[in-house]
Every structure is written in C-alpha cells, then in structure tokens.
Structure 1
Amino acid sequence: MNHAEAEARLLDAAEKLFYERGVQAVGMDQVRTASGVSLKRLYQVFPSKSELVRACLDRHDRRWRARLAAHLEGCPAGRERVLAVYDWLYEWFTEPDFRGCAFINAYGELGAVDQAVADTVRAHKSAFHDYLAGLVASAGGSERAVAPLVLLAEGAMTAAAISGSPEPARQARLGAAQLLAAP
C-alpha cells in the first residue's frame, strides 16, 4: 500500500470515528483497525494523534466549504444567497450522521491542550467568517452585520447538535433576514 492510499484510508477511518465518538475517546489502535493500515504504517504517515486530528480537520474544512459553495452557486445573488447559507445548514443538520460541527467538537475536546488543533479550528472559523463577509458585501449589506450573522450560524450548529433538531437553522435564518433588512 502506497503512502497516498494509506493516508486516505487512515483519514477516512479517523474522521468517521472522531466525529461519531469524539477525538479523545478514539485511540490510534481503533483507527488502525478501522482503516486496515498497520500501526507501524499509521505512525509513519501520522507520527502523532495531533497530526492525524489536524489532517482530518484540514480535509473536512475543504469538503465542508466546497459543499457550502456548491449549494450557494445555484442561488440568486444578493440577500437570498446570504440567507441560503442557513438553508444549507438546515439540510446539513438533517443528515442522519449529523453530530454537530467537527471543529467546535474538536476545539471543545482539545482546544485548551493542543495549540495546533486550536489554530486549525480558528483558521476554519475565520475562513467561514470571510466567506460570509464576501456574501454580505456582494449583497450590498452592512459590514456590521457579518459578525452577528456568523454567530447565528455558529449558534445554530451548536443548538442543532444539542437539540437533535434542524430547527435552529430556520430560527437563525429568521434572525439573519432581520439583520439584513436593518438599515
């Protein structure tokens, strides 16, 4: 098995296990078993669990942002595209394997003890902020609305995970519509 194949198998297994059970609850031996990659090879590819977590988050970041962007491509430009972010969140929250935001979850488990993981989470959240800021600017919205719009989305992610309901996305969308309509 070459390096790229081993890496892909390890990331597939680790991402699934970390998201389902939590990072601290999953040992490297469980990742080895689920991936079918030897423990020796696992540590050649990812010398530490922290590196594996960061690689999972980096890959998840690329996929998450690509899915959001693909959803918004089909939406009319302007205010409706900003509001479509919350529609996309609703769809994500209804997925059967939804367990909240992987970045919030990882930060909650490791943010205080693993600076590299905390930095990876912050980079993802910053990229989401910047993306939303671009949507708001394109819609002619106020820059002042960006931070509250981000908080509505982030709060919806947390509330949906805790409640087990996708409804926080709809509630956040209502708040976002009010923010965008404000002078």
Structure 2
Amino acid sequence: MKFPAQKILKLPTHKLVTDGVTRWNSTLEMLERFLEQQPAISAALLSPEVRRSDGDLCTLTEADITDGEDIVKALKPLKAATLLMSEEKSPTLSIIAPLYAQLLEKMISVSHDSSLIKDLETAVYNNLKSIFMNYVYVARKDKLYTASALDPRFKAMPFLSKEAYNNTFCQLVMEAAVWRTCTQLL
C-alpha cells in the first residue's frame, strides 16, 4: 500500500507540497496540505517502521497546529485576491480599488486571541498600505476609481468616502462632456 495511514484515517491521498520561493502562496498551500495530512503524518511518525528511537521523533505541539490553522485562515483572503487578480476572464483594473479596500478591512476587522495572528495581520495591513500608497494609489487612484465606477459590479463604490465617490463621478461627467464636444467638432 502506498499511503496506508491516509487510507486508514480516510484522508485524501494527496502528497505533501513544498513551497517555491517565487510564489508566496505556495507556502500557504504547503501549510494547508500539511494541516490536511497532519493526522497521517503523525501516525507515520509514530510507526515503528519510521521511528528508530524516541530521539528521532520530531512533532509539533497542539499550539503549533493551532497557529498553522490560524495562519491559513488569516492568509486565505490574500490567496483569493491573488487568484482573482490573475484571472484572464475578467478585467482587473476595475477590481483593484475595491479589492484593496476589502483586504485592508479584513486585515483589521477580525479580532484574534493569538498575538502571532495579530502581528501577521498588522504586517500584511502595513505592507499593503505601503505598497499601494507608494507605487499605485497616489499616481493612479483616479484611474482606478474611474475603472471601478464604469464596471457595473462596482459602480456603487461602497469602498469610497462620499467625497471621493462624488469627485469620481464629477470627473467622469466632465470627461464625457469633453469627449462629446470633441466628437461633435470632428
């Protein structure tokens, strides 16, 4: 039998996943797979065929497993955002501003007992804000808001303040009027 512990425990017969340094979500996938297969891994480590002595056994504590589960739960929104941004079926420019706002909200809205998860979410929140503000948002926020306003999925734009919402639609009306005037002149 190739995967006896998995069969006995009625777990999927998946292999473990290793992470790749170029893809952050591969680390998340590795942790998810470990947690899925953790009972089989523990059973295999306890089997006499694998273990030569008590010194050979290296296991994680319940706290380690709980931390792993919490990390997976905390990072799932980022994985979903990554997958959404890499889809080819939907335009992505209009998704950026609402997705960014939603990710920030998820990172600060959930309260956790674990200081590890609080620290993780704070780091993710600060990193998102820094990257977005420095590289994307300041120079292109009007274009992002316009793209979201023109996309029927986001035209209500609940992620914006009332002022930003009004400014975006005023700008759209002005650009439409200029475009119409220019086309009439031609």
| TM-score, normalised with respect to structure 1 | 0.40
The structure having more radius of gyration, on CA atoms, is 2
Q: Which has the higher contact order (CA 8 A, sep 6+)?
A: 1
| TM-score computed with the length of structure 2 as normaliser | 0.39
